[in-house]
Homo-oligomer: A and B are copies of this chain.
Amino acid sequence: MQGSSDFLLYVPIFSELDEETIEKIAKIGTKRCYKKDNIILMEEEDGSALFVIIDGKVKISRTSNDGREVILSILGESDFFGEMAILDGLTRSANAIALEDSTVFIIQRDQFLDLLYKHPEVSIALLQELTKRLRAADMKIKALTLKDAEGKVATVILQIADDVGMIRQGVVEIEKLPLQQDLANMAGTSRETISRTLHSFAKKGLIELESSRLRILNYEKFKETYH
């Protein structure tokens, strides 16, 4: 059945595999749908699997005892998660919640480990992906440590732009900016500060806001100013 496993081709860690292997992977996994706001997996839960997002958006977060939340990342189509628990066998350290109705492809731990042993190129690709995430995490730590609220907000905007921004002649557009509360949970500031800062950026002519659309008017300059 041609096309049924196409989505796997766009997953970075599988993209180097030949068609036959991709088909095989498609068979060992299962698809599953999650409604908006539903929990895909929970902190401290064990039993592990790799989740590949076929369609939708998923929020990866950690929460404190008193219920406050840090959003570590927002993942979209062909991103994956759940690999950490598979690799080190420890319990999960984060939650995954569907931000919109989402479909995910699930590969169980053993099958995935098997894949790693049989196809070293998957390991290498996975190493590259983890490296990318580690770089992003280090950047975030730097921002949280050294920057003021304005700088933190800018860093989050840039991160989202890198993830889902559309570039059109120097202008980067984010179609559906997350809610201010979510931005706050990503930036480590308050919701009110997000509101004030975005408007201050707009006043300075750095960005343009209309409803949930955000345009970075001069991406290079913005990056330069707040990198």
A residues contacting B by CB (< 8 A) are: 62, 64, 68, 70, 72, 83-84, 87-88, 90, 93-94, 116-117, 120, 123-124, 126-128, 130-135, 137-142, 144-147, 185, 188
Contacts and interface: CB of A to CB of B under 8 A. Distances in A.
B141 A88 contact: no
A163 to B, nearest CB: 16
A32 to B, nearest CB: 24
Contacts of A116: 120, 123-124, 127
A210 B216 CA distance: 52
B88 A138 contact: no
A133 B185 CA distance: 22
Nearest to A88: B131
Nearest to A89: B128
B141 A137 contact: yes
Contacts of A138: 62, 72, 93-94, 137
